[in-house]
A and B are shown apart, each in its own frame.
Chain A
Amino acid sequence: MTDGDRFPPGTRVRTFPHDPPHHTRLPRYARGKRGVVVEPEGPAELADVSAQGRGDAPVEQIYAVRFAARDLWGEGDHHVVLDLWESYLEEDPDRDR
């Protein structure tokens, strides 16, 4: 899906927890973390695949996702917004917690 409607603004999401054996744009500090979708930013080739020099990178929607500092670092009162490809995200199963 590339039309930006899988995760509408306000959707609670969780990022993938694993460290892939190749380039990725999901920074280590934001792995396996809970955040809230701000907005879709438009589709782009998945950098994890295109960075390997492959021509078959899928085009995915990128979402701006807002994280609370205490969810990232266990402390802090600020927020961090990150641009993340759709396949880095899943809907937060514990969104009602």
Chain B
Amino acid sequence: MTGEHLDATIARRVRRLETLLEEKGLITGERVDEAIDAFLASSSPANGARVVARAWTDEAYRSRLLADGTAAVRELGYMEGSYQRLRVVENTADTHNVIVCTLCSCYPLRLLGPSPSWYKSEAYRSRVVREPRSVLREFGLELPGTVDITVWDSSAESRYMVLPRRPEGTEGLTEEELAALVTRNALIGTATV
């Protein structure tokens, strides 16, 4: 029964709890909205892009990022206080990685911001695990037949982010300029840089 979720129950419980806290004068709706806005404002694909640019320019950081993603992104101030584990998967000349959550829509929100609607669509979730090459082609990404594709289905407590390949001809760019090249889809694996 992987298709069934108790989100509605949890949503009702959260609303009820919020109402009770408001009635008792412990919080206000405005304060809750502020907290949510602050969380979303600090969650953006610019965070993931900054992590990637650091990995491209600092070999020691890249090693730490691939060995323990959670600890490495915390060095840059991301995912503080999150219980989730981050695993960063690296694209190479022979391998391409792409992220999905087939059961719902798990996504590294703090590093990538709110997920795009296609990421949550049944079409993407059901097809990318089965025919990733075709799905990536529809995103405009044609991979050579020699490149092995790994699809990471984040169905438990880990979250995944792709470390794209650094494009050629970018040796002279600063870390900030490199970060500006990294798109959200490149961090999901439905694009390259």
Residue from B2, B130, B155 in contact with A73 in the complex, judged by beta carbons closer than 8 Å: B130
Number of A-B contacts defined by CB within 8 Å: 82
- Tally of chain B residues near chain A (CB < 8 A): 26
A47 to B87, CA, bound (A): 20
1/0 contact trace for A40-60 toward B, CB 8 Å? 011010010001010000000
Closest chain-A Cβ to B30's Cβ sits at a distance in Å of 31
Report if A7 contacts B (CB, 8 A).
no
Residue from A23, A44, A66, A84 in contact with B2 in the complex, judged by beta carbons closer than 8 Å: A23
Closest chain-B Cβ to A9's Cβ sits at a distance in Å of 14
Residue from B2, B9, B102, B151 in contact with A24 in the complex, judged by beta carbons closer than 8 Å: B2
Are A51 and B6 in contact (CB-based, < 8 A)? yes
Closest chain-A Cβ to B40's Cβ sits at a distance in Å of 26
Are B151 and A80 in contact (CB-based, < 8 A)? yes
Neighbouring B residues of A73 by C-beta, 8 Å? 130
Closest chain-A Cβ to B173's Cβ sits at a distance in Å of 32
Residue from A22, A27, A72, A83 in contact with B157 in the complex, judged by beta carbons closer than 8 Å: A83
Report if A97 contacts B (CB, 8 A).
no
Neighbouring B residues of A95 by C-beta, 8 Å? none
Report if A93 contacts B (CB, 8 A).
no
Are A85 and B156 in contact (CB-based, < 8 A)? yes
1/0 contact trace for B122-157 toward A, CB 8 Å? 000000011111000000000000001111111111
Closest chain-A Cβ to B65's Cβ sits at a distance in Å of 16
Residue from B6, B131, B153 in contact with A23 in the complex, judged by beta carbons closer than 8 Å: B6
1/0 contact trace for A78-91 toward B, CB 8 Å? 11111111000000
Are B156 and A83 in contact (CB-based, < 8 A)? yes
Neighbouring B residues of A69 by C-beta, 8 Å? 130
Known: A78-B133, A78-B148. A23 touches B5 (CB 8 A): yes
Are B102 and A27 in contact (CB-based, < 8 A)? yes
Known: A42-B157, A53-B9, A69-B130. 15 other contacts (CB 8 A): A20-B1, A23-B2, A23-B6, A24-B2, A25-B156, A27-B153, A28-B2, A29-B129, A41-B85, A41-B158, A64-B158, A79-B148, A80-B129, A81-B152, A82-B155
Residues of B participating in the A interface, judged by any CB pair closer than 8 Å: 1-2, 4-6, 9, 85, 87, 102-103, 129-133, 148-158
